[in-house]
Structure 1
Amino acid sequence: MKFKLFIVVILLSYSNLFSQDSNFNVELNYPLPIDDNFIGRNYNGIIEAGLRYRFVNTSILNVGIALNSGVLKNTNSDNEIGIDVTVVSVQPRVFAELDIEALPSFHPSVALGYSYMNFKSKNFSDTSVEDANTLDSKNGFNFNFGIAYDITKTLFIQAQYDFVKLTVNNGVPNTRYNTEVNMLKLGLGYRL
């Protein structure tokens, strides 16, 4: 595993030699639920990975597409009903990123997209439950804004805020608690 990680770091380090001013970047974030709702009360962030591609580059604005995928976890020791739940989210988006001449190391951005959240349940502590492995999906509109700060020409740190407005299934109350997800994401990125 350490060898594979070493190879990835070496390849990323040398990618700049072959692609000057590439339009791609990769990022790793820590997703932190920050609201009093069903996600904020019950789940902890594990990791999120993302890829961005800029297809419009001007002196002040970059526009592109992004794809992020993250994992949240709730173990049966963390909740009252005794169940392990893993949430895997996928977020395709369109983004716009500013290049401010007076602040060349700062890059604020906004993004619009859609979020797909898959909830995988297992390990029910109640042994009377026959089907202990279940899968549920929720999805909805996603709004994101953030800021990145360049550490070097290729390496940056970032903070992002995500708002997701989920649709609810029949029988689930259409309340803010059940439909609005707020996340703070802190991470590190690398321009390829």
Structure 2
Amino acid sequence: MKQKLLLLFLLTLTINTFSQERKFSLELNYPIVEDQNFLGENYNGIIDLGFKYRFANFGIINLGGGVNASILDNVNNYNYQGYKVFAYSIQPKLFAEINAPTLKKLHPVVGLGFTLLRFDVSGVSNSGFDLSNASETLSGFDINLGLSYDLTNRIFIQAQYDFIKINPNNGVPDIQYNTNVNIWKIGLGYGF
């Protein structure tokens, strides 16, 4: 799987090397879940892939839309309960990116979006219940802050922060532990 992603990334680099427009970008990030909540205490990031399209340029501000997809791994359940849980997120968003002449290589970004979190369970619990088809989906609004730094005309590094306000499901208390999610993303991108 990693070789296929690397091959796709290198192919995109090769095909678009001579393109002058930089309306699109592909991103490969490492997600870090932070905070003392249901996600931060139990999950580690595996990978985050992002795609952005800049559809309007207003001088120093670009407006665009994008989507990120992440995979998180529950590090606790398999060892203690006998089953494995993965969390998958899809995060569509609208964003504003600053391209100030005084900050030629730095690009601050602010985004607003929506997050869908799907939790899929596999395995058998210690009590003998087959949980292979168990899943749950949560959703909420997302505020994204980021900063990218251009290494070349096409390649950049970036750091992002996502604050997600989850809408709790029925019966789940509406408290900070169940509703506030903080995810940092550190990665590499390619603009074309």
TM over 0.5: yes
**Who is 1:121 aligned against?**
121
8 Å contact from structure 1 (residues 33, 40) kept in 2: yes
Check 1:129–1:7 CA distance in 2 against 1; reply closer, same or farther (3 A cut). Answer: closer
Alignment of 1:14-93 (within 5 A): 14-17=15-18, 19-75=19-75, 80-93=80-93
Q: Is the 8 A contact 2:45 2:71 kept in 1?
A: yes
**CA–CA distance in 2 between the matches of 1:58 and 1:35?**
36
Conserved in 2, the CA contact under 8 Å of 1:29 and 1:188?
A: yes
Residue 14 (structure 2) pairs with residue 13 (structure 1): yes
Provide the aligned length of Structure 1 versus Structure 2: 191
Cα distance, 1:75 vs structure 2: 4.3
CA shift, 1:66, in A, is: 0.5
1:136 aligned onto 2:119: no
**Alpha-carbon shift at residue 80 of structure 1 (Å):** 3.9
The C-alpha deviation readout for 1:25-76, integer Å capped at 9, x for no partner, is 0001000001110000000000000100000113200000001100001145
Cα 1:152–1:169 shift into 2, 3 Å: same
Q: How big is the shift at 1:123?
A: 1.4
Instruction: Give the RMSD, CA atoms, in angstroms.
Output: 2.0
Displacement of 1:5: 4.0
Aligned-residue offset at 1:82: 3.4
Residues 110-144 of structure 1 deviation map (CA, whole Å, 9 limit, x = unaligned): 00000000000111332421444301000000000
1:170 deviation in Å?
Answer: 1.1
Match of 1:110 in 2: 110
Distance 1:173 1:10 in 2: 47
Separation in 1, partners of 2:170, 2:77 = 29
Quick one: structure 1 residues 8 and 156, their matched pair in 2 at CA, closer, same or farther if it must change by over 3 Å?
A: closer
CA 1:4/1:111 → structure 2, altered by over 3 Å: closer, same or farther?
closer
Asked if the contact 1:76–1:82 (Cα under 8 Å) also holds between the matched residues in 2, the reply is no
Say if 1:38 and 1:178, in contact at 8 Å, map to a contact too: yes
Structure 1: gaps spanning 5 or more residues: none
Where structure 2 has 5 or more consecutive residues not aligned to the other structure, the ranges are none
Shift in CA distance, 5/144, structure 1 to aligned 2, threshold 3 Å:
closer
Distance 2:126 2:78 in 1: 15
Q: Is the 8 A contact 1:76 1:125 kept in 2?
A: no
**Contact kept? 2:37, 2:180, Cα under 8 Å:** yes
Partner of 2:159: 159
Which is worse superposed, 98-107 or 80-89? 80-89
Tell me the distance in 1 between the aligned counterparts of 2:125 and 2:135.
Answer: 17
Question: 1:162–1:183: 8 Å Cα contact kept in structure 2?
Answer: yes
Once residues 3 and 172 of structure 1 are traced to their aligned partners in structure 2, the CA distance between those partners, rounded to angstroms, is 40
